[in-house]
């Protein structure tokens, strides 16, 4: 994993293009540019680990190009639960819930990621309050889609969730 400048990117990361992704949809171009300027861009190679199980969840990542695989861990079990593609985010739940990562994230192919720290998320709220509301709705919609996919998998596999 290598930190890069936006000007060094070989991919189209213009706000106009990024608005096609679910996380950036309906955001103003100036607010997207703010996130690109203030966030951390990571160029990752196929097989690179972006974060590991138990690491601090003080940020989330959006995929600007490429694909990632998320491996959920519970106890000694580890299972790939989803692939994250262009315009999607991963790690937001850990950041908002203030807990450690519940799995590991690996690059399925060469990818470009934007890391948004909790501090940048707060700064975005302060400087772009209208766009922050849209971003929060986009992230919530993304989480809802993930919950639906995972709950459908439980039904398809006849898994009964135990109550504590």
> How many CA within 13 A on the CB side of residue 63?
25
Say yes or no to pLDDT of 6 above 90. no
What average pLDDT does the segment 39-59 reach? Answer: 97
Q: Which residue has the higher pLDDT, 8 or 61?
A: 61
Q: What is the pLDDT of residue 161?
A: 83
Mean pLDDT score across all residues of the chain: 95
| Average pLDDT over every residue of 117-131 | 98
> Model-level pTM greater than 0.85?
yes
What average pLDDT does the segment 94-109 reach? 96
The pLDDT, as a whole number, for residue 154 is 86
Structure token pair of residue 43: 């160029």
Q: What is the DSSP string of 61-88?
A: EEEEES-EEEEEEETTEEEEEEEE-TT-
| Residue-level pLDDT at 8 | 85
């Amino acid at each position: 994993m290598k930190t890069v400048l936006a000007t060094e990117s070989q991919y189209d990361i213009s706000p106009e293009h990024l608005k096609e992704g679910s996380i950036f949809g309906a955001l103003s171009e100036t607010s997207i540019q703010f996130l690109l300027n203030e966030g951390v861009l990571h160029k990752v190679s196929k097989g690179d680990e972006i974060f590991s199980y138990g690491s601090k969840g003080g940020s989330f990542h959006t995929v600007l190009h490429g694909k990632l695989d998320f491996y959920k861990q519970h106890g000694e079990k580890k299972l790939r639960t989803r692939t994250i593609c262009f315009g999607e985010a991963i790690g937001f739940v850990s950041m908002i819930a203030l807990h450690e990562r519940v799995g590991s994230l690996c690059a399925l192919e060469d990818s470009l990621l934007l890391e948004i720290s909790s501090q940048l998320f707060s700064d975005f709220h302060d400087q772009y309050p209208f766009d922050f509301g849209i971003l929060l709705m986009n992230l919530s919609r993304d989480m809802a889609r993930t919950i639906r996919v995972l709950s459908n998998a439980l039904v398809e596999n006849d898994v009964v969730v135990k109550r504590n």
